Amino acid sequence: MSWLDALIIGLMEVIAVFPGASRSGTTIAGGMLRGFDRPSAARFSFLMSGPILLAAGIYQSLQVFNMSGLTEFLPNLVVGFVTAAVVGWLSIKWLIGYLGRRSLYIFAIYCALVGVLLLFTQFI
């Protein structure tokens, strides 16, 4: 991987602002356009999301600490955090394994159809 690969894959995230576009899908597609195999492109896509998710998590955590009655909500927040972390990790692990065996064409078609439908409903 070169810095140009990382730059182009990062720029693919811009496409995700359009309805129906998936951030991970666009960055995986960008990696594949740069010659990566599907599992490697997916790994890099999820590695790219790490810093922004960490920053968003820290930002939201700081806001939670300023909530009144935090001690009442803290057990629920901890359970939700742990559950989200475990399910997220298992989902990413499953997706990378899936991409090693299958393509994303069906997912891409689904995203395109949803995007067109959403754009169509916005103009009505």
The first and second tokens of residue 2, run together, are 């070169």
Please report whether residue 93 resides in a domain: yes
pLDDT at residue 83, rounded to an integer: 97
Asked if 44 contacts 9 with a C-beta cutoff of 8 angstroms, the reply is yes
The pTM of the whole model exceeds 0.75: no
pLDDT at residue 66, rounded to an integer: 81
Please report whether residue 62 resides in a domain: no
Please report whether residue 56 resides in a domain: no
Domain assignment of residue 97, given as a range: 3-50+71-123
Please report whether residue 58 resides in a domain: no
pLDDT along the chain (124 residues), means of 10: 90 83 86 91 87 87 82 87 92 86 82 86 86
SS3 state at 78: helix
What's the structural domain count of the chain?
1
Please report whether residue 64 resides in a domain: no
Please report whether residue 60 resides in a domain: no
Please report whether residue 40 resides in a domain: yes
SS3 state at 106: helix
Please report whether residue 110 resides in a domain: yes
Question: How far is the C-alpha of 42 from the C-alpha of 24, rounded, in Å?
Answer: 7
